[in-house]
Amino acid sequence: MKFPIVIHKDTESDFSVTVPDLPGCFSAGSTVEEAMDMSREAIECHIEGILIDNEPIPIVSAIEQHQQNEDFKDGIWAIIDVDLSKLSIPSKSVNIEIPEILLNTVDNYARKHGKSRSSLLTQAVTEYISTH
């Protein structure tokens, strides 16, 4: 899943990161690059907590929607891609039936985008559930 983040820098502090679609999810770093790396960790940890609490993952909004919020004025925007299949919560192998042609389509799409089948299906299910 791709999450927009906004990075701010005050003269007396490190770079701070807010994840608008995950209320309460914040991070920081001494450089922009470190702040972005730390934000990925913060997002993963936050999502794990949401899943452990059996809550739905919030819908991700476009950066343009967040830019209208005064709290994010003058921030630097970036996108952080989080692979939900690699969260530290336990995974479980399942046996499902899916039409072979659809499975081939899934595999081709995953390969084209540098993902595994499990990663793509996890992301697709998560996004579907969060929007319905």
CATH of the domain at 123: 1.10.1220
Over residues 72-119, the pLDDT tens digits come to 888 999 999 988 777 767 778 889 999 999 999 999 999 998 888 988
* The pLDDT of residue 10: 81
**Could you give the CA distance from residue 59 to residue 38 in angstroms, rounded to a whole number?**
21
Over residues 38-64, the pLDDT tens digits come to 999 999 999 989 888 888 888 888 899
* The pLDDT of residue 99: 94
**Could you give the CA distance from residue 35 to residue 50 in angstroms, rounded to a whole number?**
22
Compute the average pLDDT of residues 3-27: 92
Both 39 and 2 in one domain: the answer is yes
54: containing domain:
1-82
Is pTM beyond 0.75? Reply is no
Both 54 and 103 in one domain: the answer is no
Q: Which tokens in the block code for residue 36?
A: 């972005």
